[in-house]
Amino acid sequence: MVLAGLWYSVWRPMVLASAEDLAPALEARVSTAATVLREAAALVPNARSLLAGRAQVTSEPWAPVIEIDGRMVRLADLELSLEAALVAAGHTLSTGDRVFLANGLGERVAALPLDIKLQNAMAMLAATTLNSAGKAAALPASLASSGRPIAQPTRQPLARPNFAVQRAVSFSFMDGGLQTTLSAAATTVGEALRANGVVIHPEDHLTPDQMMPLSPGLGVRLVRAKPIRISGKDFVVSARTHAPTVQMVLAEAGVTLGPLDRVEPALTTPVTESTEIRVVRVHQYQEEHREVVPFEYRYVADPNLPLGLKRRVQDGSPGALARWVEIRTEDGQVVNRTVVDERMLVKPRADVVSYGTLSLPGPLASLEAATRVVPGYSRVDTDTLSVRAVMNVESTGYEAGPQSTGKWPGHPWYGITSIGWEAVPGIIAVDPRVIPYGTRLYVPGYGFGIAGDTGGAIVGRRIDLFYHTVQEALRWGRRIVPAYILE
């Protein structure tokens, strides 16, 4: 593996480059290659090849160099661990001290475990050196085909160590009110905290900052940001904050609230570790709904309507209702509906039909025939009898004489109605503005009649029933009765 590495890192670049351009790098490259071969010979003494022969690897034992406390020390026994080799050389390590691998350029490239065998550490050093050599300038192609052996380098100078010890530095560290003493082999505060497993988030407040050089006894204070989570219908925010209340956390995260939005927990709640904040988007609005109110059907008994008759008292019609509903949604879902106002725009009107329950002494035809003959009507057809309307009226009786009309026999208008009809039983005086002349009527207790007269006292819902004699009129007296208006 070492020789293969030489081919890709040393010889192949020499074939691809010109000697004139890269001559200044020749000496450095030859010295690097010789160092690699010597290290390989120390690890694998039996390894020999054409390239190794040309390099004239020395058989002189080679020992690595470590820098510790400003001194350069050689470590002789490759079978010992790194820490044991240091002890054998008269140096001890304290807790937190670290040993670094130094590449061929003198750079610290990796920390080593203290229990690693020195021989294995040298193998890592060889690989690191090859990697560093691969980054150097290529050698001239003329030397690659030359049969001359590569000159043997001089002994490894102590000024360029293979390993370096960095002593741990103690410092004071306060984390969340808990103070402790830490130590680390580090050059900066941030490096020292990472070496102690301290995780620092970008939102945390560290004093001094991570780039501050580490020095013994330095006081370091860490104020950690609290992890929080904000969730809503269409977003989730995970962050760290120093804000003391939920309201300030939302403002810091740029979450705006509507006038009805709800926050759980409340805005004034103090923020603690791993606080979960839920924002519920609340909207409230009103809708107007219009409804048709159906009418009802009513059948009512009418004791003043003769048995077997029906009368439509009122046609039914539907109503209209306007209702205002307040709707509340949370995260787009309706959670409540409340009727805040309603108004009946059109009241429904019931469909009312009355049916007669009044028993009469005989059929209507015989009743009519037994009482009076209505002028112009020879007979009432009871089979087709139908009531168009009914109204309660104040009724009285009258006759043709002077007590009722002021006329005596011999007067030209004696016994004549106001519209010129002969005054006979069955004539009913009415207010023609309420009941038109010629309207057929039925008055319980009086019988059938027709509106054919009027008088000065007959105004509004008042009727006067004609009789032959004063005694009959007085016997009727004054009554409130239903007047059935017939079809």
* Domains 285-353 and 360-486 alike in fold: no
* CATH class in words for 360-486: mainly beta
For the chain, give every domain's residue range.
2-93+100-158, 168-223, 226-280, 285-353, 360-486
Q: In terms of Cα–Cα distance, which of 440, 319, 435, 464 is closest to 379? A: 440
User: What topology is assigned to 285-353 in CATH?
Assistant: Resuscitation-promoting factor rpfb fold (2.20.230)
Residues contacting residue 467 through CB under 8 Å, at least 6 positions apart: 397, 398, 399, 425, 473, 476
Q: Which residues of 430-464 are buried (b: 16+ CB within 10 A; e: fewer)?
A: bbbebbeeebbbbbbebbbbbbbbbbeebeebbbb
Bridge pairing between strands 275-280 and 226-231: parallel
Q: What is the pTM of this model?
A: 0.44
Nearby residues of 471 by Cβ (< 8 Å), 6 or more positions away? none
Beginning with the edge strand found earlier in the chain, give each strand of the sheet holding 310-314 in spatial order: 297-306, 351-358, 310-314
Two tokens at 79?
Answer: 């079978």
pLDDT for the residue 321: 93
Q: Quick one: pLDDT at residue 349?
A: 93
Gap between the Cα atoms of 161 and 157, Å rounded: 8
Q: Mean pLDDT per segment of 10 residues, for the chain of length 487 residues?
A: 46 44 45 53 47 43 76 83 84 82 68 84 71 44 37 44 83 90 90 91 92 92 92 89 91 90 92 90 93 89 74 88 94 92 92 77 39 41 62 93 86 88 92 93 88 92 94 92 86
Distance CA 474, CA 130 (A): 147
Fold of 168-223: Ubiquitin-like (UB roll) (3.10.20)
